[in-house]
């Protein structure tokens, strides 16, 4: 069973993924999540967009295979939170996060600026204040940008850490 902080973080992510508010994450929700990230980056039709879509589909298959015990083609909040203990699901979620980070770097300078970060988060439904707090937390070196290593570390912390002080706790806004 995941620690309480992990439950809170995963419940927050569940809310972001359940785009239709049905109380379940379904394949269409992950497709919608990917589409929002692609739209925020203006990357429609690109190779990067196809990679994001592929990783979203791969994550759905991992969720379905691992957590959809009744075969109803959807994952409840309780099932989703249980994914914290399933490496295949966690690894898939991290991969999706990393490829979304790659398209978020719109100017391709290897860094995510506050503007790029806030644009993505706005599309995902994360309030600006939470988005700015998340950016500040993940910008560990305080240079005004989130580098790829900072982002990857943050996403891994989001899924794997039960430390209340981990910067990655803010990867998807206020938890």
Place 175 in a pLDDT band, splitting at 50, 70 and 90: confident
CB 159 within 8 A of CB 84: yes
What tens digit of pLDDT does each residue of 3-58 get? Answer: 789 889 989 899 999 999 999 999 999 999 999 999 999 999 999 999 999 999 99
Predicted local distance difference test score (pLDDT) of residue 2:
59
CB 16 within 8 A of CB 125: yes
Place 1 in a pLDDT band, splitting at 50, 70 and 90: very low
| Stretch (H or E) spanning 147 | strand 146-147
Residue 84, pLDDT above cutoff 90:
no
What tens digit of pLDDT does each residue of 139-156 get? Answer: 999 999 999 899 989 988
Does domain 4-161 match CATH 1.10.238.10? yes
CA distances from 136 to 60, 99, 173 (A): 30, 21, 11
Residue 83, pLDDT above cutoff 80:
no
When pLDDT is averaged across residues 93-108 and rounded to a whole number, the result is 90
Please calculate the CA angle 147-89-118 and round it to the nearest 5 degrees: 35
| Token duo for residue 106 | 């719109």
- How far apart (Å, rounded) are the C-alpha atoms in residues 103 and 29? 19
């Amino acid at each position: 069973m995941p620690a309480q902080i992990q439950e809170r973080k995963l419940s927050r992510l569940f809310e972001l993924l359940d785009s239709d508010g049905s109380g379940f994450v379904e394949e269409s929700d992950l497709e919608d999540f990917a589409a929002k990230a692609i739209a925020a980056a203006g990357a429609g039709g690109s190779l990067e967009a196809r990679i994001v879509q592929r990783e979203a589909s791969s994550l759905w298959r991992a969720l379905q295979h691992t957590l959809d015990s009744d075969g109803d083609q959807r994952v409840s909040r309780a099932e989703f939170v249980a994914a914290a203990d399933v490496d295949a699901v966690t690894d898939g979620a991290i991969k999706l996060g990393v490829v979304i980070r790659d398209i978020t770097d719109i100017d391709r300078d290897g860094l995510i600026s506050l503007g790029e970060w806030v644009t993505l988060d706005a599309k995902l439904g994360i309030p600006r204040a939470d988005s700015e707090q998340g950016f500040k937390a993940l910008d560990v070196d305080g240079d005004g940008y989130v580098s790829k290593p900072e982002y990857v570390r943050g996403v891994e912390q989001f899924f794997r850490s039960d430390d209340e002080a981990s910067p990655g706790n803010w990867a998807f806004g206020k938890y």
